[in-house]
Structure 1
Amino acid sequence: MSSQPVSVGSQNLSFVEDLFSSYLLDPNSVDVEWREYFDSLKNGDDRLSGGWTSSSPFPSRSMFNPPGLGTDIPYQGPAGKLDEAARQERLDQLIRNYRVRGHILASVDPLGSERPSPPELDPAFYGFGEDDFDREVSTSWVGGPATRTLRGIINWLKQTYCRSIGAQYFHIDSLQVRLWLAQRMEETGNRIKLERTEQLRILQRLADAVVFEEFLARKFVGAKSFSLEGAESLIPLLDMAIEKAGNQGVREIVIGMAHRGRLNVLANIMGKSPRVIFREFDDADPELQIGRGDVKYHLGYSWNWETSLGKNVHLSLCFNPSHLEFVNTVAQGRMRAKMDRARDFKRELGAVILIHGDAAFAGEGIVQETLNLSELAGYRTGGTIHIIVNNQVGFTTTPREGRSTTYATDIAKMLQIPIFHVNGEDPEAVAQVVNLALDFRKKFKRDVVIDMYCYRRRGHNEGDEPSFTQPVMYKEIRKHPTVFEGYMNSLLNLRGVTREEAEKIEKDRRERLETELAEARRDDFIRCVDHWGGIWAGYHGGPAKEADSPITGMDRDKMSQLIHRLIELPEGFRPHPKAQRILEARRAMADGEQPLDWGCAEVLAIASILDEHRPFRMSGQDVRRGTFSHRHAVLYDHETGDAFVSFNNIINERGYVNLHNSPLSEAGVVGFEYGYSLDCPEGLVVWEAQFGDFVNAAQVIIDQFIASAEDKWDRLSGLVMLLPHGFEGQGPEHSSARLERFLNLAAEDNIQVCQPTTPAQFFHLLRRQVLRKWKKPLIVMTPKSLLRHKACVSSLDDLSEGRFRSVLPDPEAPKPEDVKQILLCSGKIYYDLIERRAEIGDKHSMIVRIEQLYPFPTKWIRELLAPIADGTPVAWVQEEPSNMGAWGFLRIRFGEHFLKRFPFERISRPASASPATGSSRTHKFEQDQLLKAAFQIDE
């Protein structure tokens, strides 16, 4: 075969795709040369191993000679006569446009809104007249009979692409994927054939959904529930998806969703007892919720589902705040952790189902971040099922006000995945889409989108009046029957079910809910509290006084061995010369010839954790090298570019070392790592900001999940956030990790906020975080310039002995009776203070470092300052402006007298709207003024 490529125009491209489709259906239906060509593609010819594309070489020019193609055939209008070649070409174009654009005509809106009619879907557009409609043509490349009339073809295409399902898949580059989807839809007319038992199950699940919502509306009048009414097909959709996934081998499903329909999902999918939900509506146990808890439609749940074939699937519905889509990457992180725990590196045993609202899917940027993670090696979970509950309105905002795209799902076209729009009031069309979506996910391990068009029978919540803003829509909704009634009538007409069966289904569900409500209102009702169990057994949260303090030091020789193992390179590996110097320095540190710097202490801490067979995961922008080139945990051959992960020298079992440079995303990646930490209590899970300042792009995840999850949902996390922080003249966006924001969120011992100032302190802090049974998120203000500061070093003995200390005393402090002032500080400013004190020969200032700002170490600092005379001035010294940093937190806590013994004041930059100056010289001037104020030096 010739290796010369043939130029392919758009018409010829359509011809080849159709020919390839015919070949897949029946290889003998194409000419022998084409068959040999496609055989080479199928068998992995070196030139074609990536699959056929429009730029692939063809076997010979003589083969590429379909009649009439390659020339422009003028449109002749309905009265014109087309020859056979022209007719076939126009038919090819019509079929292709139905595949590409048929979704525009699909009847997906249950309220019956008008759909535009694209001219390219009109046979007259191609010159076909009445005389052509009953002419038989070859259709071997379309699902169904080998020959059909034009009328039959068009009807079949309408059945496939324009009935209750609209499919978008021609944005997918892979011909293999497009043909697979086309075959699956066109062979069946995009319709599933259901047995009577399957139809009856759908009807039962619709009854579950409808009766539950009607019952809540009657029994709890006016109470917020964020009803699923109008979208009840979500329940049979989830039922079918879980059944199919379970029977395909999926053993874990993590579900993320907002509040619309959550109570219905909890009761009818997740297995939460309705009596517990009713008890929550009655709010009968207020003493259990003082200062904590959350509204019932934010709560999560876990359940073991058994499929009809006896397969077990564990379901986890994530807790979620009102911030809608922000749960997306949390769910993804949880699933990734579950897969890693199960050593499921093929990503086959778990699945994520995300349920979105149409307005939120189009409007919230976190959706794009979630989609972008789906095919990245460090975040892949084997394909997510995205379900859009398309209410066709967002609160009171119409689609034309809420998005600039035709569909709410258009952002998903950034991925190589199909998008199925389906009418939620055609349950059997929903069943077809679920079946197709799950098969697509299993085969290609990619995301898939199901856009279920429905409506919202009530307003945004039960107290809202929707006709204020959508009067026309709600006139139609008020007279619209429920989907249960519609499907029941359909089955009655088809004799798939009898009226007696249908009435019994409804009656049984109402009676059950009445029984559940009676149980919920019993005086002796016992509420089960979901506390820490499963993989969290043995760990706990609660107050800091209950925290354990494990030994974090290590044998000196063992640490030396670990460092030596970290710097061992594969034979012939050539690192960058500067990286080589870092390795040589670490060899000297391991041998005790020079003290350890920050980077060496950090990688040693991680190596020690891995050496104990505990998993380690870190992600963030540039974490493999480290933004400030201090880590070099992954080295690259300077000649070939090959990567070498040094931690693999410690443990080379897959799943223990996860070190991933992240996309340029904060909210999505922080959410992912937080989710991962929820299912990895025994490991070290770390997110590092490129600069700590950028963490504010993830504020929703911090506020709504990290800081409050234990209080709201009784959920623990050991996530570590490393936030480079320090004022060094790099400007407003490269100075502050906003320490004050974390301290403002700190209450009830919910998080740990630390700013260690030595490599040894950081080593012990990381090890303490992993070894502790008391689990809280750890926020660390990490250094930048201190990474290479000559005084910021530690010996192997410092790492071998002791523990992390929340307060560090002054190693050169005056005698207690000589102390005239006490300077409290945290972080880099300590090194500036001791340097200035030495310069001026000050003999009366005591400098104390607070290494853990929360929970605040009051006990330890009280003991440290016990010998100091009452009335000695205490000043808090910080680099941040007075309205930032730790000062506000400390002032509220201690008032005008520190520990009720010492006058308490502040030394800082003045209050400012921006964290820092953009001028390096101005920064140096400000820093000098701050130090002069600390030591009361007059100008």
Structure 2
Amino acid sequence: MRGREGARSTSKHSISLRETSSCVANGSRPQVTASMLFQRNTSSFAHEGQVICHSSGGCRPQSASCGAANYVDEMYLAWKANPKDVHVSWQTYFRNMEDPTVPSTQAFRPPPGLMSSRYTEDTPAISMAEISDGVNYLKAQSIVRAFQEYGHTNAKINPLGDVGSATIHAHPDLPSSSNLSKYGFTTADLDREVPLGPDLFPHLASSTKTMPLRDIIATCEKIYSGSFGVEYHHISSPATRDWIRQRVETYHASPPSPAEKHRILDTLIWATSLERFLATKFPNEKRFGLDGAEGLAPGLAALIDRCADVHGVRDIVIGSCHRGRMNVMSTVYGKDFETLFGQFAGTDKFDVEGGQTGDVKYHFGMEGERTTAGGGVVGVEMLPNPSHLEAVDPVAQGKAKAVQEIRGDVDQSKVMCMALHGDAAFSGQGPVYETLNLSGLKGYEVGGTVRLMVNNQIGFTTDSPYSRSTPYCSDLAKYIEAPIFHVNADDPEAVVFLCKLAADWRAEFRSDIVIDVNCYRRFGHNEIDQASFTQPEMYKKIAKQQALLEKYIEKLVGEGTMQAEVVEEQKRWVWEQLEEKLARSKLPSEEAHALKTEVATAPEPLSTSTAVDEATLSTIAEAITSVPEGFNLHRNLQRILAAKKQAFDAGTVDWSTAEALAFGSLVLEGKPVRISGQDVERGTFSQRHSILHDQTTHAEYTPLNHLQEGQPARYTAVNSPLSEFGVLGFDYGYSLAAPESLVMWEAQFGDFANNAQVVIDQFITSGEAKWLLKSGLVMSLPHGYDGQGPEHSSARLGRFLELGSEDPRAWPEDLGWARRDCNVQIVYMTTPANLFHALRRQIYSPYKKPLIIFFSKSLLRHPLARSSVQELTGTSTFQPVLSDPEHGSSILPLDKINRVILCSGQVYASLHKHREANGIKNTAITRIEELHPFPWAEVKENLDSYPNAQTIVWCQEEPYNGGAWQYMRDRLETVASESENHKFSRIVYAGRGTGAAAATGSKKVHQAEEERLLTDAFGDS
């Protein structure tokens, strides 16, 4: 009863199909009522009930031979049709059985001893024997339900027996001979025949009408407490729970075929042989091997094959933990063994001069193809990942999402995401929660991720009771209602069954599923670790543990599926194949497993100009400042859009207009634009308004998707959850697969970007150097000191600049390669025009590099932060350095300037205001709009234009230890050394002092600090 919805109960279990033909003939609906007299006679319940019909033709009473199951089912159907048509006790029972929060031992409540007065004496009665069977059916059903809920707590999922965290204490309500009284039985009832039915092993009911209680319990133990256990009662949908129940209960009825057993054995031979081969050939190398978890390999193979052969999946994107990854890349995913052996032998190459560092072999990913059991081919990509555990999770999902959208996989059936997790990491690392939270959100959902836990039952040296506060490492997944299966890795047939079930689940429900593969580490954290230092009992047990391959061979030989000689020959052949592949890996080759960079003789130009013709800009401006007729726009927004249009018509644009024009122009050129982050649809500072809301109907309107009929690409803005790590990782992964899209992540405030510092350090700024991952991701970071305190002022500019790979100590030999060779681009701009060109350059640059944009909150609407439309058209382009525009007007000519202030970002507005207010004429202000790669030639050219400037000031509003000064000092000294006029110029600092916090929380202190840095900047001017 508990696992079904009314709509699903009206098929083969409906009484209208069998026992009430007269009612069907009369066109009437049988109404079942029950008044139950609760009498205890030893351990049995006695009930009285009636069946009546609304039709005048009447309905015959159900005969005892019809069985108790049908009787109970009739009650259930009547209750589903109208709960008031059955006695309140039945109402309580059925309501409790469908409520996953009610323990099974409390589902049944005995009714009061009075018959309802609404029923007459002449209503035909159901026999006492049938009622007794019906009650036994209900009590047995409660036993089954208890196993469904708690059977996993007694499942034999630990290959080490009672050693390790996989051993969970059986739940006290789990039925056993010692607690049968909880369910209304005694040990004397163990041989009592109980009728089967729609909610009591329906798959057996067609051939077996009854079953002794003893066998019911044994069957439950076999199904729910065997070598795997299932947790699914946290799922709210009865239909979904029923789907799982039906699949699990039929497992033993459909054992694997001999052919499938052969495939399992073959995969085990390859996986086990590879580990033993590597241990022999490279005994001192870490590999984080699959030893102790070999059962995972045939499970992964079965999962991929099922997804591809049965459900039409064509591409799989994988994020993986360390354990066993190198093994399954070659034995399951399709990576060639020669490359694998080359990584162990150290024959793979890195272009150190090109800035590559490479990585340790067990961090690399791969792209390959797997030939499935059905003869098909499926693309498999496993992403590289750092030792920052679980950091790759959102990256994999982001890449899968992008591939789905690029390939038009609307129903998300062709491209799938898969994740392998470590037990300690899944329960301990924050990105797991953040990634799970994305699973059902618009703009981030991928149609379900299949998650496998490589559960070593330990985290390095830390036992599980010290790693988590929950019984299972997988418990976190319950909050998204993912079904969770716990399985003994030493039962590869069970692992394969659950992996195939997981493939079917994703195809059916498009949501996450978790398989907790309980295994062990045969050689400790890695192969040179001595784990018995801290886990002596566990490793004594492991030392005696027979390897899975030998166990499974014994099983297959014992049951006659395989012959021992054939298996030994297969093992010898595999070993010989590995020897041959190792030999081939040592042969000289032009390709030699090298990581390659672009080979070019000269820097490549932009593929398209970043300038756009004025007619196109006018079309975009018209679209982004108007709404459809009848759209009820907020009154204030009407004024804002009208002002934008008026400004554009007058020839000027502000920051947000320039951004929208850049987005719109890219979309019209067939380049999709995606922006995500907290509040990005409107913008944290109410500056963007890219999605408009009807104030009456609540309808949404996205102007950038209505630029012209049949526009070739779309603009997507996605308000993200309150997450930085997960969402930035997701968008980085998305950018890897979408080089033709502008992909932007925007922080609510730049201060919060450090919640994603791992993604920034390990992926965005170093992913190319380590793994040759090309990303054009844009990070948009609000930044600027406005007296808003230490949490709303700083995106940590200095920290990002520290991550730049450029050498400041010497003038570059070839400036033309700067953009190719840099690892990241960092800009802090003051003009909307530069924003426009920077965004468009990101798409049309021949070199894909992440772009970090620091943008000033106060300049969003500042009069100084305006650009002319002409600066977006014609031959205009990005300007990395902006010279002072006021020579000959408010300040002296260039040769009369004796002090040059260099700055970036919004401090320019304060410097400009201070200079005007104090009538300072002899000081020029130069803006460095792009900080990395450093614009060497442009800065030198600018300083050379001031031949008599003896003081060069770097001015920043950030603290001495927090802004660009530490980055700029060496570079300015290098530039000065190359200049004829500035070899002996003073280079001085003007800015805030050092500080532990990014900014003060006091407005008064903030203003005093700003006055001081402005005074220092202008000095004796």
TM-score in same-fold range (> 0.5): yes
Q: CA deviation at 1:804?
A: 0.6
Give runs of aligned pairs for residues 324-363 of structure 1, distance below 5 A.
Answer: 324-363=389-428
Q: How far apart, in 1, do the equivalents of 2:10 and 2:717 lie?
A: 44
Residue in structure 2 matched with residue 681 of structure 1 by the alignment = 739
Of 204, 209, 215, the residue aligned with 1:145 is 204
Residue in structure 2 matched with residue 657 of structure 1 by the alignment = 715
Give runs of aligned pairs for residues 391-410 of structure 1, distance below 5 A.
Answer: 391-410=456-475
Residue in structure 2 matched with residue 634 of structure 1 by the alignment = 691
Paired residue secondary structure (2:255)? coil
Q: CA deviation at 1:693?
A: 0.6
2:2–2:238 CA contact under 8 A, matched in 1 = no
Q: CA deviation at 1:20?
A: 7.7
Residue in structure 2 matched with residue 917 of structure 1 by the alignment = 1000
Of 18, 26, 51, the residue aligned with 2:13 is 26
With over 3 angstroms needed to count, the CA separation of the structure-2 counterparts of 1:525 and 1:630, relative to structure 1, is: closer
Q: Is 2:284 the partner of 1:235?
A: no
Paired residue secondary structure (1:204)? helix
With over 3 angstroms needed to count, the CA separation of the structure-2 counterparts of 1:543 and 1:625, relative to structure 1, is: farther
Q: Is 2:740 the partner of 1:691?
A: no
With over 3 angstroms needed to count, the CA separation of the structure-2 counterparts of 1:768 and 1:654, relative to structure 1, is: closer
Residue in structure 2 matched with residue 77 of structure 1 by the alignment = none
Give runs of aligned pairs for residues 352-431 of structure 1, distance below 5 A.
Answer: 352-431=417-496
Letter in structure 1 aligned against 2:921:
K
Q: Is 2:991 the partner of 1:908?
A: yes
Q: How far apart, in 1, do the equivalents of 2:833 and 2:382 lie?
A: 40
Residue in structure 1 matched with residue 555 of structure 2 by the alignment = 490
Cα distance per residue 1:362-406 (max 9 Å; x no partner): 000100011000011110111100000000000001110100000
Q: CA deviation at 1:930?
A: 1.2
Give runs of aligned pairs for residues 429-444 of structure 1, distance below 5 A.
Answer: 429-444=494-509
Q: CA deviation at 1:899?
A: 4.3
Residue in structure 1 matched with residue 67 of structure 2 by the alignment = none
Q: Is 2:188 the partner of 1:126?
A: no
Cα distance per residue 1:899-936 (max 9 Å; x no partner): 45232110000011111110122211211111111122
Cα distance per residue 1:777-810 (max 9 Å; x no partner): 0000012111111221112112114101100010
Residue in structure 2 matched with residue 106 of structure 1 by the alignment = 155
Q: What TM-score results when the alignment is normalised by the length of structure 1?
A: 0.91
Residue in structure 1 matched with residue 119 of structure 2 by the alignment = none
Q: CA deviation at 1:546?
A: 5.3
With over 3 angstroms needed to count, the CA separation of the structure-2 counterparts of 1:872 and 1:16, relative to structure 1, is: closer
Of 567, 579, 584, the residue aligned with 1:502 is 567
Of 186, 196, 219, the residue aligned with 2:258 is 196
Of 664, 680, 688, the residue aligned with 1:607 is 664
With over 3 angstroms needed to count, the CA separation of the structure-2 counterparts of 1:287 and 1:368, relative to structure 1, is: closer
1:566–1:646 CA contact under 8 A, matched in 2 = yes
Give runs of aligned pairs for residues 453-532 of structure 1, distance below 5 A.
Answer: 453-522=518-587, 526-529=591-594, 531=596
Letter in structure 2 aligned against 1:809:
S
1:807–1:861 CA contact under 8 A, matched in 2 = yes
Q: What TM-score results when the alignment is normalised by the length of structure 2?
A: 0.84
Of 828, 850, 866, the residue aligned with 1:793 is 866
Letter in structure 2 aligned against 1:210:
T
Residue in structure 1 matched with residue 141 of structure 2 by the alignment = 92
Q: Is 2:616 the partner of 1:558?
A: yes
Q: Is 2:953 the partner of 1:930?
A: no
Over alpha carbons, which structure has the higher Rg?
Answer: 2
Of 932, 940, 947, the residue aligned with 1:869 is 947
Letter in structure 2 aligned against 1:278:
F
Cα distance per residue 1:524-568 (max 9 Å; x no partner): 685144658xxxxxxx69999656484211111220111102233
Of 882, 888, 892, the residue aligned with 2:960 is 882
Q: Is 2:322 the partner of 1:259?
A: yes
Q: CA deviation at 1:270?
A: 2.7
Q: Is 2:823 the partner of 1:761?
A: no
Q: How far apart, in 1, do the equivalents of 2:18 and 2:191 lie?
A: 25
Q: How far apart, in 1, do the equivalents of 2:440 and 2:515 lie?
A: 19
Q: CA deviation at 1:83?
A: 5.7
1:254–1:318 CA contact under 8 A, matched in 2 = yes
Letter in structure 2 aligned against 1:854:
H
Q: Which moved more, 1:146-155 or 1:708-717?
A: 146-155
Cα distance per residue 1:424-483 (max 9 Å; x no partner): 000111111012111111000011000000000011111210000110011111111111
The answer for unaligned runs of 5 or more in structure 1 is 1-13, 39-52, 75-81, 533-539
1:547–1:774 CA contact under 8 A, matched in 2 = no
Give runs of aligned pairs for residues 739-888 of structure 1, distance below 5 A.
Answer: 739-748=797-806, 749-801=822-874, 802-813=876-887, 814-869=892-947, 872-888=950-966
Q: CA deviation at 1:585?
A: 1.3
Give runs of aligned pairs for residues 312-327 of structure 1, distance below 5 A.
Answer: 312-327=377-392
The answer for unaligned runs of 5 or more in structure 2 is 32-75, 94-107, 112-130, 807-821
Q: How far apart, in 2, do the equivalents of 1:654 and 1:163 lie?
A: 55
Q: Is 2:166 the partner of 1:117?
A: no
Letter in structure 2 aligned against 1:148:
M
Cα distance per residue 1:18-74 (max 9 Å; x no partner): 988765553347987999899xxxxxxxxxxxxxx99x9752422457779657449
Cα distance per residue 1:80-139 (max 9 Å; x no partner): xx9656544432321211111111011000111154232322252324223312222222
Letter in structure 1 aligned against 2:672:
P
Q: How far apart, in 1, do the equivalents of 2:30 and 2:570 lie?
A: 57
Paired residue secondary structure (2:994)? coil
Q: How far apart, in 2, do the equivalents of 1:816 and 1:933 lie?
A: 22
With over 3 angstroms needed to count, the CA separation of the structure-2 counterparts of 1:544 and 1:474, relative to structure 1, is: farther
Cα distance per residue 1:235-294 (max 9 Å; x no partner): 111111110011110011001112221210222123222222222222245675575111
When the two chains are superposed, the root-mean-square deviation of aligned CA atoms in Å is 2.6
Q: CA deviation at 1:520?
A: 2.4
Letter in structure 1 aligned against 2:156:
S
Residue in structure 1 matched with residue 768 of structure 2 by the alignment = 710
Residue in structure 1 matched with residue 85 of structure 2 by the alignment = 62
Q: CA deviation at 1:768?
A: 0.9
Letter in structure 2 aligned against 1:186:
E
With over 3 angstroms needed to count, the CA separation of the structure-2 counterparts of 1:505 and 1:101, relative to structure 1, is: same
Q: CA deviation at 1:724?
A: 0.3
With over 3 angstroms needed to count, the CA separation of the structure-2 counterparts of 1:19 and 1:164, relative to structure 1, is: farther
With over 3 angstroms needed to count, the CA separation of the structure-2 counterparts of 1:887 and 1:309, relative to structure 1, is: same
Q: Is 2:273 the partner of 1:211?
A: yes
With over 3 angstroms needed to count, the CA separation of the structure-2 counterparts of 1:108 and 1:874, relative to structure 1, is: same
1:15–1:92 CA contact under 8 A, matched in 2 = no
Query: How many residues are matched?
Result: 894
Paired residue secondary structure (2:459)? coil
With over 3 angstroms needed to count, the CA separation of the structure-2 counterparts of 1:429 and 1:192, relative to structure 1, is: farther
2:747–2:753 CA contact under 8 A, matched in 1 = yes
1:340–1:655 CA contact under 8 A, matched in 2 = no
With over 3 angstroms needed to count, the CA separation of the structure-2 counterparts of 1:115 and 1:799, relative to structure 1, is: closer
Q: Is 2:295 the partner of 1:308?
A: no
Q: Is 2:363 the partner of 1:298?
A: yes
Cα distance per residue 1:405-425 (max 9 Å; x no partner): 000000000112210101100
2:315–2:379 CA contact under 8 A, matched in 1 = yes
Q: How far apart, in 2, do the equivalents of 1:235 and 1:525 lie?
A: 32
Paired residue secondary structure (2:570)? helix
Q: How far apart, in 1, do the equivalents of 2:600 and 2:725 lie?
A: 27
Paired residue secondary structure (2:652)? coil
Q: How far apart, in 1, do the equivalents of 2:601 and 2:998 lie?
A: 33
1:568–1:649 CA contact under 8 A, matched in 2 = no
Q: CA deviation at 1:145?
A: 2.5
